Amino acid sequence: MDTIQVLDKKFKVSIPEAEILRSIDAVAERINHDMAGKNPLFLAVLNGAFVFAADLMRRITIPCEISFVKLASYQGTISTGKVTEVIGINENLSGRHIIIVEDIVESGLTIERMLDSLGTRNPASVEVCALLQKPDRLQVDINIKYVAIKIPNDFILGYGLDYNQQGRGLPDIYTLVSDEEEQSKNNENMKNIVIFGAPGSGKGTQSDLMIEKYGLGHISTGDVLRGEISRGTELGKTAKDFIDKGQLVPDSLIVDMLASVYDALGEHKGVIFDGFPRTVPQAEALKSMLAERGHKVAAMIELDVPEDELMTRLIKRGQESGRSDDNAETIAKRLDVYHKQTSPLIDWYESEGIRHHIDGLGALDRIFGDICAVIDNL
């Protein structure tokens, strides 16, 4: 859903210009037929009808005249129901066939006021031609003979219609985006990503680049767990009890911690989940947690690097950092554990239709470009 911002409101296209013009063609054809030989006088109501009147007149092929009046019945997005004549009618209307040209008929109060005024001037006939009509909003019994398009009770903008004097020049007609639609759009655009990568795959580097380019949040299971414990939160205290007893922290508790951090981010463009999930039950729990918030995992990105390359990178890292766990034997065990853990998960995300394999061997920019291609198409 493409939207535009006008002042403090967001709007979406409701009726494209091509559809508007087709509807005007049909109305003009009827008027040309009905008013042939009558030299009708069109009274266009300013400001909103000026675009409609211009396009309508270009399609009127019979002799006619046009004049303008100005009435006001709107304040912001709500019809006030109070109609004030700003510019009067100066033409001699006696015996003339009049067509009032309005951008929109909503309550009908504006048209009723005009009909009352025109009726005192002895016209031969008075008809109403409206670009738009809201049948459900009509408050008075009036006949709108020529209606281009009937619409529901939505506030609209564009093609001459305004919101606090803004937006009249838009070629299409827009409707106001509701809070629910805006939230739904935000949810659709949210790019929650699970990133998989064996130790040494460059997952951390690529995550940093994704965060910088897309403004994503970052949730690392290890960081979350340590943070909850260090802050002494209730979740942290419960997790520490399990750890002190030599027990694994239950998945449900981990998910509660992640949910707490996720919610604390407030409005965001999406999150990279790093180090979680590690099992299919955890993936299912994460899916449920996000679904409760109207969100989802948009993609699982798998950085795939050959094991011999991972060994080379990690051994080199160990030599440079002095990390005791970066020796060949320990590295081999860690990679074995990683592959055993992630293999079922990769299959699970494949079945979800959101697994994206990225060749993690090669130039950093090329790898990141492949990741961006995935994210940009979400």
Catalytic residue among 38, 121, 137, 278: 278
Q: Is 293 a catalytic residue?
A: no
The C-alpha atoms of residue 236 and residue 254 are separated, in whole angstroms, by 10
Residue 236 exposure: Cα atoms within 13 Å on the Cβ side? 13
Q: Flag whether 110 is marked binding.
A: no
Q: Flag whether 184 is marked binding.
A: no
Q: Flag whether 226 is marked binding.
A: yes
Q: Flag whether 160 is marked binding.
A: no
Q: Is 278 a catalytic residue?
A: yes
Q: Is 113 a catalytic residue?
A: no
Q: What are the phi and psi torsion angles at 42 (to 5°)?
A: -90, 130
Catalytic residue among 59, 113, 145, 317: 317
Q: Flag whether 270 is marked binding.
A: no
Q: Is 317 a catalytic residue?
A: yes
Q: Flag whether 278 is marked binding.
A: yes
Q: Flag whether 265 is marked binding.
A: no
Q: Flag whether 317 is marked binding.
A: yes
Catalytic residue among 70, 323, 333, 366: 323
Q: Flag whether 275 is marked binding.
A: yes
The C-alpha atoms of residue 163 and residue 170 are separated, in whole angstroms, by 12
Q: Flag whether 203 is marked binding.
A: yes
Q: Flag whether 313 is marked binding.
A: no
Angstrom CA distances, 265 to 29, 89, 190, 268, stand at: 58, 59, 13, 7
Catalytic residue among 191, 203, 313, 355: 203
- Spatial CB neighbours of 209, under 8 Å, sequence gap ≥ 6: 368, 371
- Spatial CB neighbours of 374, under 8 Å, sequence gap ≥ 6: 299, 301, 356, 358
The C-alpha atoms of residue 167 and residue 185 are separated, in whole angstroms, by 22
Are the beta carbons of 198 and 39 closer than 8 angstroms?
no
The C-alpha atoms of residue 179 and residue 288 are separated, in whole angstroms, by 24
Q: Flag whether 205 is marked binding.
A: yes
Q: What are the phi and psi torsion angles at 230 (to 5°)?
A: -65, -30
Q: Flag whether 134 is marked binding.
A: no
Q: What are the phi and psi torsion angles at 177 (to 5°)?
A: -85, 125
Q: Flag whether 52 is marked binding.
A: no
Pick out the residues of the known binding site for AMP.
221, 226, 247-249, 275-278, 282, 323, 334
Pick out the residues of the known binding site for ATP.
200-205, 317, 362
Pick out the residues of the known binding site.
200-205, 221, 226, 247-249, 275-278, 282, 317, 323, 334, 362
Catalytic residue ranges: 203, 278, 317, 323, 334
